[in-house]
Amino acid sequence: MLKTKFAVLAAAMIFIAAAQGAERVPVLLELFTSEGCSSCPPADQLLEKIDQDQPVPEADLIVLSEHVDYWNRIGWNDPYSSNDFSRRQQAYAAQFGTADIFTPQLVVDGEKGVVGGNWPLAARAIQQSLRETKIPVKVNAAKTADGARVHIEVPSLQSDGGKGLVYLVLAANHAKSKVTGGENSGHELNHVAVVLSMRQVAKISTKEGISKDFQLALSPKFDASDMRVVVFVENSRTQRVMGAARTSISN
């Protein structure tokens, strides 16, 4: 059923890109998930399919899997979980004006949260995000002896809507676990774009953008060729994602 809905909606939207003939617009999709949550594996699978198939022709869907830690107390300690992601999800809830924290949750460009496995709702949120003005973000990454050198370019803001916070993210392209406790006990789970680190590295404003190199520590658990770097800029007041880009790590 999931594959059928996915294919039908993708086919229904393809005429938009043909009509526009435009370059794909980056849209950031953050999935808040957990290996301890029995409802999460279908959302993880959907995120992987979105990453692979890119079903919205006019959008470059940049996916991130952020594993929260509040499920760890019920029998399985998710090895990819972090309290940082739990707090990020809580910040979104506060911005959305709700006390409802749940997994799986997919947040689209920092503006709309939907149930992670609900592709029709996600597709509508993506279409809404495509109407927003985005700022161009450029990033490239090269492996070094002690990690990776990442070059980021972001122009200054065009309007006075607050500062832009620039985030640098390292994510594993693929990860998996054999779960031996909690709600998914006995299952092998697969993940895509698992966030290993996320940090704010700069601010931009109407007066100043950035063009700068940053050093990034790589995870010894993953080969550099199986990791990706994502850079996004969020509004300091609203958390709306104003621009994003991704790259692989070159040797």
Mean per-residue pLDDT, 173-191 = 97
Q: What is the pLDDT of residues 39-52, one digit of tens each?
A: 999 999 999 999 99
End-to-end Cα spacing for the chain? 41
Half-sphere exposure of 94 (CA within 13 A, CB side): 9
Which residue has better confidence, 20 or 119? 119
Nearest to 196 by CA among 243, 229, 239: 229
The answer to whether the CB of 153 falls within 8 A of the CB of 210 is: yes
Domain range list for the chain:
2-250
Question: Sorting pLDDT into bands at 50, 70 and 90, what band is 159?
Answer: confident
Looking at domain 2-250, its CATH architecture is Sandwich (2.60)
Residue 21 has pLDDT above 60, yes or no: no
Helices (H), the chain: 2-20, 40-53, 83-96, 119-129
Q: Interhelix angle for 119-129 vs 2-20, to 10°?
A: 20
Average pLDDT over residues 139-153: 97
Task: Report pLDDT digits (tens) over 224-249.
Answer: 999 999 999 999 999 999 999 999 99
Mean pLDDT for all residues in the chain? 92
